[in-house]
């Protein structure tokens, strides 16, 4: 007999089904609770709410485990690249050579940006936040490809392969185009080269002889994007699912995800880390003062890049990115003083009872900004890089929503805490 849970309230007992995931994750299915008992499950911020069943990513924050479609993140970082991992995340299996080639071809064929879309960008102030420009340009894809964005799951799924490739390829090109626009440089059309090399070319072709970036930089970028490719039901991915659940098309849903990612508590932490390391450097501190301030409990003094809403152990991505940082800086002969500061800070925090007792470990953002600096990405583009990396996860999650025959529109409930019923007061009687 399958397991159940009992809730007793108002002297009545309600039996609720228990669900168990393939990795043993357990949930009490409360869907019928309101209809049977009149009670809803209250969980501000959804921290303990399973909003869906998903087969894409498994994350065990207590044990520092992250797997995509069953494959551990360290094996993917070691052996795969961003394009292949994107395919795995979206389609569920590692591609065979033909599938990989077809996917790569689609990405290459749809890398360029329509001249009219280039003109839209010219309408923005050069100083506009890159994420604001990116989200609106991704939403505009629904206007340029209306046949792929019909807001009808059945139709949109028929064209999914094309829409997915357009989204992933163009978010990267748009990122590069925004960077060049802000720096007074012309749009650089894509070349027939691998995904990450193409991004580097579209950003910095003036820096490369024959448009060929060094293998070290190319590898570092692949690792960075791959480590961001998906991360379960985080704020932006849940946003994509929520918007998608209304049958909104892929591009519109992705645009909403970009908006969610733009917040400093989500995609903006990598910038905050670099700013923190820079101010430690400028103050000639060794980090001692920052650590002391971080322990004060004030939210504004937190050690940025430390702690995670889900990982209560090492973020497995942080270990990989710390090594990738070392590798790329060594190979490029860059001596970034911020890396030494980051390492000292990490060592000091990992010996400190404040951080240990609260299970605060470095997260992926602690080192990602240093890699981006080494590649030449400016700080205001860090969150755009995160968005490019996260695009396969968003696409895969949108597809799960669209393809779920039992899906329903996301519509949480609330506990109303406002005034009770009262009668309208005419203006003349208001003091
Ligand atoms: N520095 C110092 N103290 C911290 C930090 C930190 N970075 N993070 C949490 N704490 C403390 C809190 O003050 C709290 O202490 P208390 O128990 O004495 O009150 C305790 O640790 C638990 O904190 P919560 O806020 O409950 O932890 P939560 O899991 O909700 O927060 C978060 C996670 C938002 C990531 C937090 O750790 C933080 O602000 N970190 C810095 C910002 C950061 O690096 N964000 C990137 C996240 S990764 C990503 O988005 C890709």
The H or E element that residue 8 is part of is: strand 4-9
CA 231 to ligand 1: nearest atom? 51
**Average pLDDT score, the chain:** 94
Both 93 and 139 in one domain: the answer is yes
In this predicted structure, what is the pLDDT of residue 233?
Answer: 97
| Within-domain flag for 273 | yes
Whether 257 and 273 share a structural domain: no
Rounded Cα distance between 300 and 288, Å, is 17
Overall average pLDDT of the 394-417 stretch: 97
User: Has residue 426 been placed in a domain?
Assistant: no
Domain assignment of residue 322, yes or no: yes
pLDDT tens sequence across 309-336: 889 888 999 999 999 999 999 988 989 8
| Residue 431 pLDDT greater than 90, yes or no | no
- Output the pLDDT for position 393: 98
Query: In this structure, what token pair is assigned to residue 55?
Result: 């087969």
**Is 308 among the catalytic positions?**
yes
Residue with tokens 């910038």: 271
39 in any annotated domain: yes
Region 373-377 average pLDDT: 92
Quick one: pLDDT at residue 389? 98
Kindly report the protein residue whose alpha carbon is nearest to atom 49 of ligand 1. Answer: 266
Q: Which of 221-230, 294-303, 399-408 is predicted with the least confidence, judged by mean pLDDT?
A: 294-303
Residue 304 has pLDDT above 70, yes or no: yes
pLDDT at 246: 98
Same domain as 312, residue 202: no
Query: d(Cα 135, Cα 257) in Å, to the nearest integer?
Result: 8
**Domain count of the fold of the chain:** 3
Query: pLDDT tier at 1 (50, 70, 90 boundaries)?
Result: low
Mean pLDDT over 26-47 rounds to 96
For the chain, what percent of residues have pLDDT higher than 70? 99
Report the nearest-CA residue for atom 50 of ligand 1. 266
- Which of 269, 220, 173, 182 lies closest to 374, judged by CA? 220
93 is written with which tokens? 């299996």
Identify which of 34, 30, 72, 25 has the alpha carbon closest to the alpha carbon of residue 53. 25
Q: Is the pLDDT of residue 201 over 70?
A: yes
Q: Give nearest CA residue, ligand 1 atom 13.
A: 297
pLDDT of residue 289: 86
Distance (Å) from CA 61 to ligand 1 centroid = 14
Residue 210 scores a pLDDT above 70: no
pLDDT of residue 208: 64
Q: Percent of the chain, pLDDT > 90? A: 84
Q: How far apart are CA 176 and CA 170, in angstroms?
A: 10
Nearest-angstrom CA–CA distance, 309 and 97 = 38
Regarding whether 45 and 154 lie in a shared domain, the answer is no
Residues 100, 216, single domain; the answer is yes
How high is the pLDDT of residue 286? 78
Task: Look at ligand 1, atom 8, and give the residue with the nearest C-alpha.
Answer: 307
Residue 161 and residue 288 share a domain: no
Same domain, 355 and 294: yes
pTM of the model: 0.94
CATH number, domain containing residue 355: 1.10.230.10
| 56 in any annotated domain | no
User: Would you say residue 60 lies in a domain?
Assistant: no
Across 229-254, average pLDDT = 98
Same domain, 28 and 137: no
The CA distance from 168 to 390, in Å, is 9
| Alpha carbon distance 138, 142 (integer Å) | 8
Which ligand 1 atom is the nearest neighbour of the CA of 297? 13
Evaluate: CB of 358 within 6 angstroms of ligand 1. Answer: yes
CA distances from 343 to 5, 72, 335, 336 (A): 47, 25, 13, 12
CATH no. for residue 13? Answer: 2.20.28
Domain check: are 242 and 291 in the same one? no
Phi (first) and psi of residue 419, to 5 degrees: -65, 150
> Mean pLDDT lowest for which of 226-230, 286-290, 355-359?
286-290
Torsion over CA of 189, 194, 196 and 202, rounded to 10 degrees? -10
Asked about 43 being catalytic, the answer comes back as no
Q: What CATH number did the domain enclosing 135 receive?
A: 1.10.580.10
Same domain, 371 and 382: no
Q: How far is the CA of 393 from the centre of ligand 1 (A)?
A: 24
Residue range(s) defining the domain that contains residue 15: 4-50
Same domain, 294 and 382: no
Same domain, 121 and 255: yes
Looking at 308, 326, 336, 423, which residue is catalytic?
308
CB 205 less than 6 A from any atom of ligand 1: no
């Amino acid at each position: 007999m399958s397991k159940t849970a009992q809730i007793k309230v108002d002297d009545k007992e309600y039996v609720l089904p228990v669900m168990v995931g393939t990795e043993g994750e357990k949930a009490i299915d409360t869907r019928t609770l309101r209809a049977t008992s009149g009670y809803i499950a209250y969980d501000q911020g959804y921290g303990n709410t399973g909003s869906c069943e998903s087969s894409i990513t498994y994350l065990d924050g207590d044990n520092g485990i992250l797997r995509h479609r069953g494959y551990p993140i360290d094996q993917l970082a070691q052996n795969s690249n961003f394009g292949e991992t994107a395919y795995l995340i979206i389609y569920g299996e590692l591609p065979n050579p033909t599938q990989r080639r077809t996917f790569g071809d689609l990405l290459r064929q749809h890398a360029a940006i329509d001249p009219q879309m280039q003109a839209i960008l010219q309408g923005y102030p050069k100083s506009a936040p890159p994420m604001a420009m990116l989200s609106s340009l991704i939403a505009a894809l629904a206007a340029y490809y209306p046949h792929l964005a019909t807001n009808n799951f059945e139709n949109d799924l028929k064209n999914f392969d094309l829409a997915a490739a357009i989204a992933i390829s163009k978010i990267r090109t748009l990122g590069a185009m925004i960077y060049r626009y802000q720096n007074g440089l012309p749009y650089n059309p894509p070349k027939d080269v691998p995904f990450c090399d193409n991004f580097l070319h579209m950003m910095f072709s003036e820096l490369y002889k024959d448009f060929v970036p060094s293998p070290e930089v190319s590898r570092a970028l692949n690792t960075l994007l791959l480590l961001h490719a998906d991360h379960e039901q985080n704020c932006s991915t849940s946003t994509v699912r929520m918007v998608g659940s209304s049958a909104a098309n892929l591009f519109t849903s992705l645009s909403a995800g970009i908006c969610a990612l733009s917040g400093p508590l989500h995609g903006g932490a990598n910038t905050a880390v670099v700013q923190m390391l820079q101010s430690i450097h400028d103050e000639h501190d060794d980090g001692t003062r920052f650590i002391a301030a971080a322990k004060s409990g004030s939210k504004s003094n937190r050690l940025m890049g430390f702690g995670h809403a889900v990982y209560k152990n090492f973020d497995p991505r942080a270990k990989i990115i710390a090594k990738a940082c070392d590798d790329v800086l060594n190979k490029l002969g860059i001596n970034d003083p911020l890396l030494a500061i980051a390492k000292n800070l990490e060592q000091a925090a990992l010996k400190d009872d404040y951080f240990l007792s609260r299970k605060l470990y470095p997260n992926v953002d602690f080192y990602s900004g240093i890699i981006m600096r080494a590649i030449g990405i400016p700080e205001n583009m860090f969150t755009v890089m995160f968005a490019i990396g996260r695009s396969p996860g968003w696409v895969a999650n949108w597809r799960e929503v669209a393809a779920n025959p039992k899906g329903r529109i996301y519509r949480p409930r609330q506990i109303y805490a406002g005034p009770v019923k009262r009668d309208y007061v005419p203006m003349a009687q208001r003091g």
